[in-house]
């Protein structure tokens, strides 16, 4: 239930309870307990008509986004060429003519002859036993100047008087050396090497120069000669028979005009396809309308800023429960009590003892005011509005059902005013209740 209905639905029962306490409470009656059990008329049951508003749910709109789409499609260009000036060059012509050949022979030395070489040497004198040699020193007499040769140290002792070594020495052979003559080889002998050779032959074209040192064997033969060749411009042929045209040598390249034709376009007249291709300028494609998904094919992308919202179903109110009314029992029926016994009178004034005052007014249904009463409800129920309180016989109740006591008119008026105040709280804004 919506929170905005709670104040009215709570205050209405409070106002009704207040009216019951003030207008119909036990304190309103001054009658005794005995009077409450007799002479009371029957009180019919009281019902309220409760109007239940429709239960409505606000259903939001169903939408989805859509975009325009774009892509870049690759293209291919093909090369077409037209000949402006043909290439220039020469043709190679060749032929082979039979040639008379003569045989020549010559000797090829594989190993030359080497004569023998005798041994060469000399005689040397070699010492078999070395000579015995004694070294003598020359001494001089200082007084007489005489000299003599003696062994080293001779002037020591008594012989030293006046004799001094002059510094000269001399080797004297005591025993001569024993020698022998020996032959020393300076160059060993070399044996003779015989010559090794073989013969070779060659065919020489008649009139050509034969190899050096060769001689003709007298044999001849006819063979195909070496090819002859000649370079001639295009359109010319060599004189003689047997010529064959060979390779083409380009001296000047052909001049051509090359154009690139986009894919699907037609080449100019006179231009032939070369087979070469290249990437062309990409083609931009973009959809004119929006869609939730990309069109068929690859490479599609969303156009920036093209998003739009498409409404699949408009927002609307859904009636979950229709408005309806019901009769709610406010107070049950109370049957009439037996008549009260007559009281004895004293005859003084002719009036009845214990009877009602002649001047008192009998309460009627006109003393109650019609008004709407909000009937309280438990949680989960839809609140209703009570518009009319009626009895089982169609009249208004003027006796409190629980006691059967008569009700003074002023208390009934106060209770009715409380009911009207409660109804005013409810009718401030009478709208259908929406389900949350």
What is each CA distance from 267 to 73, 78, 83, 342, 363, in whole angstroms? 22, 9, 14, 136, 116
> pLDDT tens digit string along 208-221?
899 998 999 999 98
Count the residues in the chain: 436
Q: Is the pTM of this model over 0.85?
A: no
> pLDDT tens digit string along 299-323?
899 999 999 999 999 999 999 888 9
First to last CA, the chain: 7
Residue range 21-49: mean pLDDT, rounded: 64
| CA–CA gap between residue 140 and residue 118 (Å, rounded) | 61
**3-state DSSP assignment of residue 419:** helix
**Residue 419: pLDDT band with limits 50, 70, 90:** low
Q: Give the model's pLDDT for residue 107.
A: 92
Across 74-214, where does the E strand assignment appear?
76-85, 88-95, 98-111, 120-129, 132-141, 147-150, 163-175, 178-187, 196-205
| CA–CA gap between residue 226 and residue 228 (Å, rounded) | 7
> pLDDT tens digit string along 39-75?
888 889 898 999 989 899 999 999 999 999 999 888 8
| CA–CA gap between residue 191 and residue 245 (Å, rounded) | 65
**Residue 293: pLDDT band with limits 50, 70, 90:** very high
Q: Give the model's pLDDT for residue 435.
A: 47
């Amino acid at each position: 239930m919506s929170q905005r209905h709670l104040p009215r639905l709570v205050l209405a029962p409070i106002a009704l309870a207040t009216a019951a306490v003030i207008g119909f409470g036990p304190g309103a009656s001054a009658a005794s307990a005995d009077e409450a059990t007799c002479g009371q008329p029957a009180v019919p049951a009281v019902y309220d008509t409760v109007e239940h508003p429709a239960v409505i749910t606000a259903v939001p709109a169903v939408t989805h986004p859509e975009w325009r789409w774009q892509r870049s499609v690759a293209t291919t260009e093909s090369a077409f060429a037209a000949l402006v000036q043909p290439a220039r060059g020469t043709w190679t012509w060749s032929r082979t003519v039979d040639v008379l050949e003569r045989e020549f022979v010559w000797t090829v030395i594989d190993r030359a002859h080497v004569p023998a070489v005798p041994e060469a040497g000399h005689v040397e004198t070699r010492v078999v036993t070395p000579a015995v040699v004694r070294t003598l020193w020359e001494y001089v007499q200082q007084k007489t100047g005489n000299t003599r040769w003696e062994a080293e140290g001779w002037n020591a002792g008594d012989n030293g008087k006046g004799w001094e070594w002059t510094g000269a020495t001399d080797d004297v052979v005591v025993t001569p050396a024993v020698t022998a003559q020996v032959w020393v080889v300076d160059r060993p002998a070399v044996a003779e090497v015989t010559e090794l050779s073989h013969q070779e032959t060659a065919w020489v074209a008649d009139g050509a120069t034969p190899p050096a040192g060769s001689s003709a064997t007298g044999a001849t033969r006819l063979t195909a000669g070496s090819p002859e060749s000649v370079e001639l411009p295009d359109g010319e042929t060599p004189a003689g028979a047997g010529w064959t045209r060979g390779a083409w040598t380009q001296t000047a390249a052909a001049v051509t005009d090359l154009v690139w034709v986009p894919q699907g376009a037609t080449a100019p007249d006179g231009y032939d396809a070369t087979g070469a291709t290249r990437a062309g300028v990409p083609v931009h494609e973009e959809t004119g309308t929006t869609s939730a998904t990309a069109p068929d094919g690859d490479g599609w992308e969303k156009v920036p800023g093209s998003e739009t919202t498409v409404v699949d179903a408009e927002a609307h109110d859904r009636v979950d429960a229709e408005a309806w009314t019901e009769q709610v029992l406010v107070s049950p029926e109370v049957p009439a009590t037996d008549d009260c016994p007559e009281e004895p009178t004293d005859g003084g004034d002719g009036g009845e003892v214990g009877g009602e005052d002649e001047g008192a007014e009998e309460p009627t249904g006109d003393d109650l005011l019609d008004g709407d009463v909000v009937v309280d409800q438990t949680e989960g129920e839809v609140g209703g509005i009570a518009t009319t309180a009626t009895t089982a016989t169609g009249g208004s109740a003027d006796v409190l059902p629980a006691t059967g006591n008569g009700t003074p008119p002023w208390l009934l008026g106060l209770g009715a005013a409380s009911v009207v105040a409660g109804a005013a709280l409810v009718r401030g804004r009478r709208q259908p209740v929406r389900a949350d």
